[in-house]
Structure 1
């Protein structure tokens, strides 16, 4: 799916400068560096400079976030929306965000692997096996059009659920 020459592969570098004003706020306060969202692609592979800031939403507990321990020697792999569809919901897309750090800048490098715009995305038959089909088939291009009409934190798979 990502070996096609038309597949969409992106490498992005994000820089989050330090936010010294946070030192004057209570520990319970945070400043968003990048808002909560899921990645649309199949997978995202992330590496950072070791500065804290990445958080993942705790499943089943609205509004609760867990910090991802920074490790400059590790890669963090996120399941994306497309892989959630291919697995018929067995693997869940990871809702995440980045919060600002008060003292140090954060740099993250992310590789996004996605299909070609005309590629069909649908639950794989071998993963359905008598289960309810959670998503209707769509093309990557259809998904992107729907995503562009939504907000960052919206459930961008909702229009494709059965």
Structure 2
């Protein structure tokens, strides 16, 4: 098994088929105090599958506005020492037929809280996909540092 395949298997074991909390960072629309771009981070519930995280959001939220302007994002899962860069993409309304398969999974995974937090009848309730481009498992205490290139499907 290649290092990339091993990394993908580990991602699936750690994050697949469950509701996980991740830190999602975008670039804020307004500059920082020095006039330069600044990050905007928040914790979101996510579902991982095949090199991407899926998040239910709201089309007019700050994060979705920020992603529309600059789709480059970063994620962090601190407990597992995993960080990654990715491309955010608004896949549209959660009830769009193109989202039916993924939303069936998400409603099941997020069942405990999904309908308290989301209104599927509102066309602004949307599905956000974060396609990972580069990732890093980094645990200095265990001497682990594995870089993953999701685009070229390599790891070292």
TM-based fold match above 0.5: no
More strand by share: 2
For normalisation by structure 1, the TM-score amounts to 0.27
For normalisation by structure 2, the TM-score amounts to 0.28
Higher relative contact order (CA 8 A, sep 6+): 1
Q: Which protein has the larger Cα radius of gyration, Structure 1 or Structure 2? A: 1
